[in-house]
Amino acid sequence: MSATPASPSTSGRREFPFHDRDFRRVCELIRQHAGIALGPAKRDMVYGRLSRRLRALRVDSFQAYLDRIEQAGDDELQAFVNALTTNLTAFFREPHHFERLREELLSRARADGPRPLPLWSCAASTGEEPYSMAIAACEAFGSLAPPVRILATDIDTQVLATAAQGIYTMERVAGLEPALLRRYFLRGAGAQAGRCRVRPELRALVDFRPLNLLAPRYEAGRDVVALFCRNVMIYFDKPTQREILARLVTHLADDGLLYTGHSENYLHAADLIRPCGRTLYRRADGAPA
């Protein structure tokens, strides 16, 4: 039992007993399969999210649930990962990145000619980030068919399914400029009132695929001119961040840009990436290409 007497995790008010050893097993499993490092403060969050899985499966203890996950090949492992990821995102989050993206795309297109420019959002969550990249590209080129192709990946298959649908509540898009809303979204009516859908032309620019950043290789193409890796590395420890960065940089074009989250710090990876603007990096000289 936990030494914290008031902890609701162990107070007996819980529907399922949740022992220290259960929490330790959860932490180890999610670290092993997704790289996510969970601290003790996440214990109640873990209980809340996983107890829904126990209920859905009619399993009566964490021990039985975790035994089941550890049996190789159980689809529940994916549901377990989906339950424990944090998917907070928003359209045009950190707006300065999208201004920079527009400038980069225009100067690239002038230099490289008409070939499609590869972009990648590697923790795409429910799609707001890659669709914001698509909108930035459309705005840059004044066209619904700009010369870009956007790969959007995430470990969480549930958020990718939402992203692929491209349907959002009006609250989710409330912060967008009205002109962008009119140009890139279709308002729902009838049963879809209160929602909107990204225009099919925008949807066609983005390819959604599952990809675990812990994987030893990424099927993500090369020469990526803009790689958005934002607000995901914070969940990993520093050695894991370095391993992932070492793989990511090999996908960047020689002068491609890595866009990172505002609270991510890469002082420990100066041999892999070099800063070149606010939360922006390029591959460091001598880093694997």
Q: Which amino acid is at 128?
A: E
Nearer residue to ligand SAM within complex by CB, 200 or 277: 277
Residue 278 a catalytic site member: no
9 versus 241: smaller Cβ distance to ligand SAM: 241
- Cβ nearer to ligand SAM, comparing 146 with 261: 261
Q: Is residue 59 classed as helix, strand or coil in its secondary structure?
A: coil
CB of 197 to ligand SAM, least distance (A): 20
Which residue, 9 or 92, is less far from ligand SAM as judged by CB? Answer: 92
Q: Determine which one of 14, 20, 31, 49 is catalytic.
A: 49
Three-state SS across 242-273?
A: HHHHHHHHHHEEEEEEEEECCCCCCHHHCCCE
Pair 135, 202: CB distance under 8 Å: yes
Question: How distant is the alpha carbon of residue 107 from its chain centre?
Answer: 27
How far are the Cα atoms of 6, 8, 46 from residue 3, in angstroms, in the given order?
Answer: 9, 12, 18
Using the Cα atoms of residue 144, residue 145, residue 150 and residue 155 in order, give the sign of their dihedral. Answer: positive
| Phi, psi (degrees; rounded to nearest 5) at 113 | 80, -160
Q: Which is nearer to ligand SAM, 65 or 236 (CB)?
A: 236
Among candidate residues 154, 195, 199, 283, the one labeled active-site is: 154
| Least distance CB 86 / ligand SAM (angstroms) | 5
Q: How far apart are CA 38 and CA 42, in angstroms?
A: 6
Known catalytic membership, residue 49: yes
By the criterion CB under 6 A, which residues form the site for ligand SAM?
A: 34-36, 85-89, 93, 123, 125, 129, 154-156, 159, 212-214, 230-232, 235, 261
DSSP letter (8 states) at residue 145? S
| Closest approach of ligand SAM to the CB of residue 234, in Å | 8
Least distance to ligand SAM from the beta carbon of 85, Å? 3
Q: How far is the CB of 61 from ligand SAM (least distance, A)?
A: 27
Are the CB atoms for 226 and 251 separated by under 8 Å?
Answer: no
Q: Is 212 exposed, middle or buried (0-12, 13-18, 19+ CB in 10 A)?
A: middle
Nearer to ligand SAM, 109 or 220 (CB): 220
Q: Least CB distance from residue 130 to ligand SAM, whole Å?
A: 9
Tokens of 28: 């180890």
Rounded-to-integer distance, Cα 137 and Cα 248, Å? 22
Strands of the sheet containing 185-187, edge to edge, are 167-169, 195-198, 185-187
Q: Which residues form the catalytic set? A: 49, 154
